[in-house]
């Protein structure tokens, strides 16, 4: 077998990344309903958001028979010590074994080989692969030596990957992969990639930006052929990430640059139907995608703050519905604003289930009514930043430090 034909062995329960167009790992945007929506529209694989090893260690794996999900939960580290007073468990990670288990890649944030293995063992039996985040440039990741900070400590990064390959792959029969960014020069990037593909991983994703580059800066693709070539020599699949906006564009880029697959990030956050092939009709109007997303959120009783955040990404900002959704306080209000009466009964049930008191929530104007403006709703503010208070705790649950409010839009709409 020639170097060009060489391929690492894919474990029995693992997946081959070649020929795949996948949902990138994104903070807030990679929760279960978003992943299920991506698969609904044709994504081949989905990455969950970075979950820090420390936040997963100590969780309890539970089968949620009501939702047909597997939940990883834990009691809060600080709370009432009185055993007579029940403490509400925090949901750290939720997955749907039937709908996504065989296509879900769990991305771990870590800076220590032993902790990485300890955390990965908890979830490895329920996913199709473990991916190490070595590309996120944000302080919530790099401050702990994780994410892009690992690019500056290649010995540590390699030791983490080697430990996972040694301890996870034989026992759970899934592959290990890594996601990185470009280094300062092509020579440094090549040297790092050569070290990484020698650790036993099955896949490497390159985000075509350096650590210091912002999402608005154009992705740098000149090094892709070199990186893909190094991966091919080792038999490791190479995926690209950065400014990929549709399945058709992804397919062209795969051919043009010789990579094995591609990730779609920000564009999929705004309209997940970008995964749908042109032959099947291509992208759908935003309202259709939003309705499918809401159905999944209601079906899985998704945390309200996360649902609201994604809706404010999916609904065009110039529309009147956008401001009303950004001020909404419940699933019932959202379905009313969007004119989706078929979802109202379930919305009410979910509101009660997750503890939303509809009677105390500000009222919103139903879709189609003209004239009066809802002063109560507008007083709550139409800025998407207002949604942060409703879902704030979940970032800390994942081991992520909160980001100052003015930075929300710029900092959170990123692939990690």
> For residue 57, is it left (φ>0), alpha (ψ between -120 and 50) or beta?
beta
Bridge partners for 14 per DSSP: none
DSSP state of 98: T
What H or E segment, with its residue span, contains residue 198?
none
In the sheet where 90-95 sits, what is the strand order?
60-64, 69-74, 90-95
- Please state, in angstroms and rounded to a whole number, the distance separating the CA atoms of residues 111 and 320: 45
Contact in structure between 401 and 139 (CB atoms under 8 Å): yes
Phi-psi map region of 58: left, alpha, beta (phi>0 left; psi -120 to 50 alpha): left
Are 367 and 337 a contacting pair, CB within 8 Å? yes
Which residue shows structure tokens 């912002």?
214
Look up 158 and say whether it is catalytic.
Answer: no
Which residue in 136, 231, 297, 326 is the catalytic one?
136
156 CB contacts (<8 Å, ≥6 apart)?
111, 113, 145, 150
The torsion angles phi and psi of 263, rounded to 5 degrees, stand at -105, 140
Residues 88, 356, 377, CA angle at the centre, nearest 5°?
135
Which residues are bridge partners to 179 per DSSP?
133, 205
b vs e for 85-124, b when ≥16 Cβ sit within 10 Å of the residue's Cβ?
Answer: eeeeebbbbbbbeebbeebbbbbbbbbbbebbbbbbbbbb
Cross-strand partners of 177: 131, 203
Q: Which residue, chain included where needed, has tokens 């029940």?
A: 86
Catalytic residues: 136
């Amino acid at each position: 077998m020639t170097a060009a034909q060489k391929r690492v062995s894919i474990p029995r329960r693992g997946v081959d990344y070649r020929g795949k167009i996948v949902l990138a790992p994104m903070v807030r945007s990679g929760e279960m309903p978003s992943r299920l929506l991506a698969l609904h529209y044709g994504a081949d694989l989905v990455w969950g958001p970075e979950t820090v090893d420390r936040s997963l260690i100590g969780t309890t794996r539970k089968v949620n028979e009501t939702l047909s999900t597997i939940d990883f939960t834990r009691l809060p580290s600080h709370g009432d010590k009185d055993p007579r007073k029940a403490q509400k468990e925090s949901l750290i990670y939720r997955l749907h074994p039937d709908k996504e288990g065989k296509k879900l890649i769990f991305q771990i944030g870590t800076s220590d080989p032993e902790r990485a293995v300890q955390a990965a063992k908890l979830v490895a039996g329920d996913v199709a692969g473990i991916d190490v985040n070595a590309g996120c440039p944000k302080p919530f990741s790099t401050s702990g030596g994780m994410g892009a900070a690992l690019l500056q400590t290649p010995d540590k990064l390699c030791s983490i990957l080697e430990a996972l390959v040694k301890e996870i792959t034989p026992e759970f029969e899934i592959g290990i992969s890594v996601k990185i960014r470009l280094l300062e020069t092509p020579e440094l990037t090549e040297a790092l990639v050569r070290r990484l593909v020698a650790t036993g991983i099955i896949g490497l994703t390159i985000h075509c930006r350096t650590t210091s580059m912002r999402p608005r800066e154009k992705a740098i693709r000149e090094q892709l052929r070199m990186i893909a070539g190094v991966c091919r020599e080792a038999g490791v699949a190479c995926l690209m990430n950065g400014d990929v906006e549709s399945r058709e564009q992804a397919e062209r880029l795969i051919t043009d640059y010789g990579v094995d697959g591609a990730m779609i990030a920000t564009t999929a956050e705004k309209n997940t139907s970008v995964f749908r092939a042109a032959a099947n009709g291509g992208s759908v109007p935003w309202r259709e995608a939003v309705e499918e997303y809401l159905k999944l959120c209601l079906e899985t009783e998704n945390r309200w703050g996360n649902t609201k955040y994604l809706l404010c990404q999916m609904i065009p900002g110039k529309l009147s519905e956008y401001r009303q959704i950004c001020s909404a306080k419940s699933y019932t209000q959202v379905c009313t604003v969007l004119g989706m009466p078929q979802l109202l009964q379930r919305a009410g049930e979910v509101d009660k289930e997750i503890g939303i008191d509809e009677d105390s929530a500000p009222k919103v104007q139903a879709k189609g009514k003209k004239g009066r403006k809802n002063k109560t709703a507008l007083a709550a503010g139409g800025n998407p930043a207002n949604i942060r208070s409703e879902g704030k705790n979940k970032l800390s649950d994942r081991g992520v430090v909160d980001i100052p409010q003015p930075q929300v839009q710029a900092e959170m709409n990123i692939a990690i």
